[in-house]
Structure 1
């Protein structure tokens, strides 16, 4: 009778985490190039990781999904200590727990919980004249990757709805809603949430014009709402009763200096 194999103890150091990754690659017969392709990242990124250098948590997550490893345990071990590499020791990084990564602003969940909720989102249509696009954006805290997460819903062009993270610099009165998919980035820069439950600023993205995509920018408003009326979402034209109020909010975004369009 074959003796059952005892489960591996959790990795506690970056060296042990690296050993788990390399062993899993051998078991699955994956080369560095194949792992990079399957995890949808550059081969140089995999080379840096296997050399013990710092990589993004998203890279660790993608690699763990491919190799069938426990992301949370490996991530904690990876940030638990520095290991020596060819260019010298890496920076010591502790487990951030309920704090967003430094590159996102190092904000804690308690410091930003007032952002959590649902927002009426308004911007002008990129191709339809006298039309305002209105949809819902939900903001929540992601405990698996400590940070605020936003998800767009009820867009008239649902296949293009975005999902991303909030970057909140400590020294700025503006925050960033960033979505990044396979190198394609969309950024929204808006003011921090005010007492009226509003954030105003500008969105920069790509829009399909005939046979190609071109960069576009336009004012955007997020207004906290407890409920949403179906007729107040979608492509809003002057015939819709909500149009005048939506237009006022967008016009004020420029008039009050939340954004400036330079031509």
Structure 2
């Protein structure tokens, strides 16, 4: 029998974290609530979900009991056999791109947009873009969001006749769309997000805002969450958000 403090591998930990984030988003629960149900400290939960600490068997079992789902089943499954290289082509609806042609997009980004709830504050989180063998396309997944219940993941469209990239979330017919332009040399992406703003009760209001994706190597000490003016990265994040509109990567017309 494995010891309770046995650590999962890096890949297993990543898969378990992905499953937990999906469950949190689906149930619209907070990380604090999950930590309390699993009898874990919020700090421990944040570290394992953020990849700063591997999952142990004991921690995984507690989270399984709290969520009522198996987290190890997916992590222990053998990896799917990769298709032949010439079969790594995205569907027509996403641009029919090859994996090799979009390899430059893969990576981790610091994502910034205006806060929807606090004037002059900036909302920052992590976005990972990578190739999904099963979907045969690029996919994106968000993490380190303060509002974990609204974490998004979905497909990436890269039409060959457009210089723009589309990050598309479609959950049961409810869409969120991010349209960005990519700077080939430095790697940033600037554009616009169109989504729904959660109000009181079940009220949802369409909202659009500028958004920027910064390769994580560009930010020496990245900070995430609601970034106020006293945060050391506020000026840098604000500079990139202003670039989105100052250089006309996105336009907002008056009504």
What range describes the TM-score normalised by the shorter chain of this pair?
0.5 to 0.7
1:262 and 2:250 aligned: no
Quickly say closer, same or farther: Cα 1:126–1:111, change in 2 above 3 A.
Answer: same
* Cross-structure match for 1:247: 238
Structure 1 residue aligned with 2:98, among 61, 85, 108?
A: 108
1:115–1:193 CA contact under 8 A, matched in 2: no
What is the CA–CA distance in structure 2 between the aligned matches of 1:229 and 1:183, rounded to whole Å? 38
* Cross-structure match for 1:194: 184
Structure 2 residue aligned with 1:233, among 220, 224, 229?
A: 224
1:137-216 matches, within 5 Å, as 137-211=127-201, 212-216=203-207
Quickly say closer, same or farther: Cα 1:174–1:231, change in 2 above 3 A.
Answer: closer
Higher RCO, Cα 8 Å, sep 6+: 2
| 1:228 shift after superposition | 6.9
Q: Structure 1 residue runs of 4+, over 6 Å off?
A: 227-231
When the two structures are superposed, what TM-score results if normalisation uses the length of structure 2?
0.63
1:218 and 2:209 aligned: yes
Aligned residues: 171
| 1:239 shift after superposition | 1.0
| 1:143 shift after superposition | 1.1
**Counterpart secondary structure, 2:87:** coil
Quickly say closer, same or farther: Cα 1:151–1:178, change in 2 above 3 A.
Answer: same
What is the CA–CA distance in structure 2 between the aligned matches of 1:214 and 1:139, rounded to whole Å? 27
Q: Which has the larger radius of gyration?
A: 1
What is the CA–CA distance in structure 1 between the aligned matches of 2:241 and 2:219, rounded to whole Å? 19
> Runs of 5+ in structure 1 lacking a partner?
1-71, 77-95
When the two structures are superposed, what TM-score results if normalisation uses the length of structure 1?
0.62
* Cross-structure match for 2:107: 117
| 1:230 shift after superposition | 7.3
What is the CA–CA distance in structure 1 between the aligned matches of 2:222 and 2:158, rounded to whole Å? 33
1:201–1:219 CA contact under 8 A, matched in 2: yes
**Counterpart secondary structure, 1:253:** helix
